[in-house]
Amino acid sequence: MRNRFRSPLAIPALALLLNVAATGELPLEGLLSQLKSPDPFESQRAEVEIHQRGSSALVSLAPLLVTPDGALDLRLEGVFKDLLDAFLDELETDFLTLANDQLEIKRLDEILKAKSAPEQEAEIAERLNNLGERVKERAPHVEERMALLSKLMPAALGEMLKRMETLPLVLVTAYQGFFDRTWQGLGAAGVLIDPAGPGFGSRRYLLSPLWFWLAAQKGTHAKEAEALLDRHLGATLQDLASPDYRARGRAEDEFFLLGRHGLEFLKSQKPAPPASYQRLISLLEWRIHPRVRERTSMDFSGYASLPFRERRQLVIRYARVAGRDAIPTLRLVVLDDARESSLRVKLAAAEALAGLRDLTGIQFLTNRPLPELLKIPEISRRLFLIKGEEYQSEKKYGLAIQEFQKILDESPFDFEANYRIAFAYLLDKQFKKSIHHFEIARRIQPQDMLTLYNLACAYSLDKQKEKALEALEESVEAGFNDAKHIQNDTDLNPIRGEPKFKKILEKIEGK
């Protein structure tokens, strides 16, 4: 017997159990009732089961976040946020993949129209066809998710606003479109509500992201939105002193979410905010969320007084520990000269951002009119490598090749640049150019097993079988002994039936 009958909800639960027996699944209404049970076991189990419903439960939960007495249902809001977070992760991954595929289609189409690679037209056409099929399959899925997201307004705006600080521009633009449509859909009467009216207290947390957005637009309603924000933050300041830990956490989330507006409001309080709020101010100044501080035990207090090496180490360590949550702080290090003046520390932050799939720092440093930056070979070379690697990971091979070529224009025999550009050409199916640069890298480091192995792949795909087998054998002699990888690598299919290929495999297995 399960523990369902321990709570005061036993009688309605009986009807729900009969439904479970018929359908195999408890209706969402029943789970919501159990979520409010005074029995911790009952409520926690309901929370787990709602989580298991995934995005299908989001539309039903969104209108229930505000309770009949006008307050936010903090427990339900926590469940909603968890589900929304997972949903947006999936949406953003699908959206970016689709956007990158569409950009690649456009690039390949331009190559075909320009007839700049006549010997590869058949391969490019095949790749265009494959990408087209993938886009055709993925696009309706993305549209379906976008349609679901539109049904979650305005409840989803807070999480979207928070994410816009760390997302690529293409997704930021898409999310801004939701703010536009939400504003138009709700209208001024629904959004710019009376601060003294009964609707303000029940909707302020849901509508504050939209007020923040309207204030940032500097348009007709900016002053009204700013006044609503200030009134909202005044009430949120009181929530910081709530005995309910969830209410306090919600208030801290809100001050972080509202960025500079929330920070300036806290700092402007007269008399000065108590010491407990000074900690929050310190975190907000560096765009560190209080939960991230709890998770990582790291912050940037006293950063300005640290010596150069310690600042650089802090930046690298924070990126490693905080992950994508470190992006807002790392951007400040790169973009704000008042916080960080050292180009080498900025480069470390930009490199850490690139490792988190954010090119903001690299783009800023390379586009900024700082001649002294690019005069330092170590820095300019690293900038081009990082940017090229990031483009390559996004399958923007043409852009990646341009970045690696910038290094070769100054240092034609740079091993890593030759290896990287050769690999980008290989992925882009420009096999002869790939071979050219792999051969240069081979001359610089004759015993580098990965250079030799990828050279073998390039020769194989270019139908130069003897040279492919020779390079493959040399890679094995240099230490490449992954027989399983060789057996499964489709790049080597053109030479797989050769007797020498089998002998090379036997040699590895013998070792």
pLDDT at 377: 62
| Same domain membership, residue 301 and residue 264 | no
To the nearest 10 degrees (0 to 180), the angle between helices 169-191 and 74-114 is 130
379 against 169, higher pLDDT: 169
Average pLDDT, the chain: 85
How far from 311 is each of 250, 299, 303, 339, 349, CA to CA, in Å?
A: 31, 12, 7, 11, 10
Q: In this structure, which long-range contacts are made by residues 114-117, counting pairs with CB atoms below 8 Å and at least 24 apart in sequence?
A: 117/430
Distance from C-alpha of 35 to C-alpha of 355, rounded to nearest angstrom: 40
301 is a domain residue: yes
Q: How confident is the model at residue 501 (pLDDT cuts 50, 70, 90)?
A: very high
Q: Helix, strand or coil for residue 397? A: helix
Domain total in the chain: 4
What's the average model confidence in pLDDT over 445-455? 93
311 and 162 in a single domain? The answer is no
Residue 462: its pLDDT value, please? 92
Q: Is residue 401 part of a domain?
A: no
pLDDT beyond 90 at 115:
no
Is the pLDDT confidence value at 369 over 60? no
Q: pLDDT digits over 143-165, tens only?
A: 999 999 999 999 999 999 999 98
pLDDT of residue 340: 94
Identity of the amino acid at 274: P
Q: Is the pLDDT of residue 368 over 70?
A: no
* Comparison of pLDDT for 20 and 45, the residue scoring more: 45
C-alpha to C-alpha distance for 91 and 102, rounded to whole angstroms: 16
**In whole angstroms, what is the distance from residue 211 CA to residue 221 CA?**
9
Residue 106 has pLDDT above 90, yes or no: no
Q: In this prediction, what percent of the chain has a pLDDT beyond 90?
A: 47
Res. 295: pLDDT tops 70:
yes
Residue 76 above 80 pLDDT? yes
Q: Are the CB atoms for 223 and 207 separated by under 8 Å?
A: no
> In the predicted model, is pLDDT for residue 17 greater than 70?
no
Burial 196-234 (b: 16+ CB within 10 A, else e): eeeebbbbbbbbbbbbbbbbeeeeebeebbbebbeebbe
Confidence (pLDDT) at 18: 37
Q: Do residues 92 and 41 both lie within one domain?
A: no
100 lies in the same domain as 168: yes
pLDDT (0 to 100) of residue 70: 63
437 vs 17: which has the higher pLDDT: 437
Same-domain pairing of 247 and 303? no
The domain in which residue 40 lies consists of: 3-53
Least confident range from 12-16, 120-124, 164-168: namely 12-16
- 417 lies in a domain? no
The pLDDT of residue 338 is 93
Sequence letter at residue 110: E
Binning pLDDT at 50, 70 and 90, where does residue 511 land?
low
Range with the poorest average pLDDT among 181-195, 279-293, 305-319, 383-397: 383-397
Please check the confidence at residue 73 and state whether its pLDDT lies above 50: yes
Model confidence at 29: pLDDT above 50: yes
What is the dihedral sign for C-alpha 197, 199, 203, 207? negative
> Which region among 223-232, 312-321, 341-350 has the lowest average model confidence (pLDDT)?
341-350
pLDDT at position 79, please? 86
Nearest 10 degrees: CA dihedral of 422, 426, 431, 433?
-30
Same domain, yes or no, for 217 and 291? no
Task: Say if residue 81 is in the same domain as residue 198.
Answer: yes
- Pair 88, 234 in one domain: yes
pLDDT over 90 (residue 256): yes
Q: How far lies 382's CA from each of 70, 194, 313, in Å?
A: 55, 54, 18
Residue 172 and residue 198 in one domain: yes
**Residue 126 pLDDT:** 83
HSE, CB side, 13 Å, CA atoms: give it for residue 75: 15
Using the predicted structure, report yes or no on whether residue 1 has a pLDDT greater than 90.
Answer: no
**pLDDT for the residue numbered 63:** 84
Rounded mean pLDDT, 373-388: 71
- 462, part of any domain: yes
Tokens linked to 176: 């801004």
Report whether pLDDT(372) > 70: no
The reply to whether 504 falls in a domain is yes
pTM of the predicted protein model: 0.71
Residues whose CB falls within 8 Å of the CB of residue 30, separated by 6 or more in sequence, listed in order: 12, 13, 16, 19
Return the number of other C-beta atoms located less than 10 Å from residue 451's C-beta: 28
Confidence of residue 45 (pLDDT cuts 50, 70, 90): confident
Q: What is the mean pLDDT of residues 269-282?
A: 81
Residues 8 and 103 in one domain: no
Q: What's the pLDDT at 19?
A: 42
Q: In the numeric block, which tokens belong to residue 179?
A: 């703010």
> Is 435 inside a domain boundary?
no
**Is residue 320 domain-resident?**
yes
> Long-range pairs for 185-192 at CB < 8 Å and ≥24 separation?
185/153, 186/153, 186/154, 186/210, 188/221, 192/221, 192/224, 192/225, 192/228
Which range (83-92, 213-222, 378-387, 412-421) has the least confidence? 378-387
Q: 165 lies in a domain?
A: yes
pLDDT mean over 206-211: 94
End-of-domain residue from the set 313, 343, 375:
375
User: Is 15 a residue whose pLDDT tops 70?
Assistant: no
| pLDDT band, very low/low/confident/very high, at 168 (cuts 50, 70, 90) | confident
11 band by pLDDT with thresholds 50, 70 and 90: very low
Q: Is the dihedral of CA 362, 364, 365, 371 positive or negative?
A: positive
Q: Are 365 and 450 within one domain?
A: no
16 pLDDT tier (thresholds 50, 70, 90): very low
Residues in Cβ contact with 390 at an 8 Å cutoff, skipping those fewer than 6 apart: 354, 357, 359, 362
Sequence-distant (6+) residues with CB within 8 A of 389 are: 354, 400, 420
Do residue 314 and residue 460 come from a single domain? Answer: no
Q: What percent of the chain has pLDDT over 70?
A: 90
